[in-house]
Amino acid sequence: MENRDEELWKLAEARVGFKRHLTTYLSVNVLVWLLWYFTGSFGSSYGSFFLPWPAWMTLGWGIGIIFHFLGVYVNNSYNAVEREYEKLKGKK
């Protein structure tokens, strides 16, 4: 039974880590977008392709957030080894 508790502890740590990552992402992005807005950078043009400079950070880091979410909540790797073991054990 202790082994199960250790697995749950690792899963809980991973989920708390994701929530902290998401909170940091949201906080920093709000600050960067506010900085962009209040410095008047929104009026500048970048030729024919306009994309505000905070968008690059938001998009890039957002991709990392998505993969972090998938790794913690969707593709639960903490139980993947146990599932694979049980699958192989059943084939014998």
Within a domain: 33: no
| Count: domains in the chain | 1
pLDDT > 60? residue 82: yes
Containing structural domain, residue 77? 50-92
What is the number of other CB atoms lying within 10 angstroms of the CB of residue 59?
A: 10
22-74 pLDDT per residue, tens: 999 999 999 999 999 998 776 665 554 678 889 999 999 999 999 999 989 98
Do the Cβ atoms of 52 and 41 come closer than 8 Å? yes
Within a domain: 54: yes
Q: How confident is the model at residue 19 (pLDDT cuts 50, 70, 90)?
A: very high
Predicted confidence at residue 85, as pLDDT, reads: 77
Do the Cβ atoms of 15 and 73 come closer than 8 Å? yes
Within a domain: 64: yes
Within a domain: 2: no
Task: For residue 57, give the nearest of 18, 27, 15 by alpha carbon.
Answer: 27
